[in-house]
Amino acid sequence: MSESFIPYGRQSLDESDIQQVIDVLRSDFLTTGPAVNAFEQQLCRCSQAPHAVAVSSGTAALHTAYFAAGLQAGDEIITTPLTFAATANAALYLGAKVRFVDVDPATGNINPSAIETAITDRTRLIVPVDYTGLPADYDTISTIAQKHHLTVVADAAHSLGATYHERPVGTLADMTATSFHPVKPITTAEGGAVLTSNSQYAIRAARFRTHGVTRDPELLHEQQGPWWYEMHDLGLNYRISDIHCALGVSQLRKLESFITRRRQIAEMYTQQLADQDDLILPVTPEHCQSGWHLYVIRIRQGAARRKAVVEYLHQHKIGVQIHYIPVHYHPYYQQLGYQRGSLPHAETFYDQCISLPIFPAMTDDDVARVVEQIKLALQVTW
Ligand SMILES: Cc1ncc(COP(=O)(O)O)c(C=O)c1O
């Protein structure tokens, strides 16, 4: 029997998820209904963030958070190039500029000591990305932010459910943007959320999500009748439907068990690959519990051998991926003037990295098969 393809990530859905979605389809509200509120409340409970504003994607969550923080044309954000382009793009949508700073080669997370030198009088936001599900160094980053009166927006697309000094993701930054894409810690198919303890940010985020419209009597400039509403900001339709949120409610109940299984898989990889001298395996600082969205190995010899290993694994039905092509490599960013060679640790990381399959439904046998194929790939590419 030929062996099946193992993807690098995939959703875990069961009958209870399906039933919740069916229930909404039979209900009165497909959008702006009770499932959205229920999902937001549950997000608050599991992240310990006092406010959650659910939106239509992780990208929308970043855009909404940056807007809520007051990011404007001419401002700057500081972030890492080792991320999906959306982290930076969301600043460009608002006319702001992106300053990429280098990563810590041990973790792939933004290097806090590189942040301070990149701050200018236009800097407004620091945007750490919890790469692979490992929280960035928030204590150091928050100290820098406070000193320079900056706002921290965490890109936590990978890290819902992770902790830093036993504090959950959602409470570590001024605002936290999550993603619920199918490979992420939980899924709503497409979706995201802004988590915050700041009620003003939450109000601005909720308004931005729905065209910048308010019905709050305290904010209205006039009141012509019960139909009256006013548009105060140039927002978007970033609403998430009740169908998506019903799935989210059901998925959130399983977040802990999903992360437990991801952690087990990560431990198996770490044990079973420990004897491979050509690999650099991920490290988790003691004060962090990673969400293990990704398990990223690195091939010491770099780009050419990494490519050969990836090709071998693909030929043998192991769906490895690369996270990430540094954002400043993309032609769009190149034509804005960003230079290759400017961020050596991130660029070396990119040359070496391979994301192995990791998702809650992966079996121990799947893990063993991935490990066996990696060992063979390392032999045949030497
Ligand atoms: C680090 C990071 N930020 C932002 C996003 C954007 O999330 P979404 O795909 O939900 O828009 C992603 C998704 O891949 C991501 O990995």
In angstroms, the CA 151 to CA 380 distance is 49
Evaluate whether 196 touches 174 at the Cβ level (below 8 Å).
yes
Evaluate whether 238 touches 55 at the Cβ level (below 8 Å).
yes
Which residue owns the Cα nearest ligand 1 atom 7? Answer: 58
64 lines ligand 1 (CB under 6 A): no
Q: Which atom of ligand 1 is nearest to the CA of 86?
A: 4
In angstroms, the CA 278 to CA 379 distance is 10
- pLDDT number for residue 143: 98
Which residue owns the Cα nearest ligand 1 atom 14? Answer: 84
Determine if residue 74 is left, alpha or beta; phi over 0 gives left, psi from -120 to 50 gives alpha, anything else beta.
left
179 lines ligand 1 (CB under 6 A): yes
In angstroms, the CA 119 to CA 106 distance is 23
241 lines ligand 1 (CB under 6 A): no
In angstroms, the CA 287 to CA 292 distance is 15
For domain 15-252, the CATH class is alpha beta
In angstroms, the CA 56 to CA 236 distance is 11
Record the tokens describing residue 345, joined without a space.
Answer: 């640790």
**CATH code of the region 255-380:** 3.90.1150.10
157 lines ligand 1 (CB under 6 A): yes
- pLDDT number for residue 382: 83
Q: Please enumerate in sequence order all residues whose Cβ is within 8 A of that of 265, keeping only pairs 6 or more positions apart, or say none.
A: 292, 295, 358, 362, 367
Give the Å distance between the CA of 157 and the centre of ligand 1. Answer: 6
Give pLDDT tens digits for 325-378. Answer: 999 999 999 999 999 999 999 999 999 999 999 999 999 999 999 999 999 999
155 lines ligand 1 (CB under 6 A): yes
Enumerate the domain spans of the chain: 15-252, 255-380
83 lines ligand 1 (CB under 6 A): yes
Q: Which residues of 1-40 are buried (b: 16+ CB within 10 A; e: fewer)?
A: eeeeebebbbbbbeeebeebbeebeeeeeeeebebbebbb
Give the Å distance between the CA of 39 and the centre of ligand 1. Answer: 19
Tell whether omega for the bond before 332 is within 30 degrees of 0, i.e. cis: no
Give the Å distance between the CA of 276 and the centre of ligand 1. Answer: 31
In angstroms, the CA 67 to CA 272 distance is 45
Which residue from 11, 56, 57, 59 has its CB within 8 A of the most atoms of ligand 1, so it is best to mutate?
59
Residue ranges for the chain with pLDDT beneath 70: 1
Record the tokens describing residue 19, joined without a space.
Answer: 């039933």
φ and ψ of 166, to 5 deg: 65, 5
Evaluate whether 75 touches 97 at the Cβ level (below 8 Å).
yes
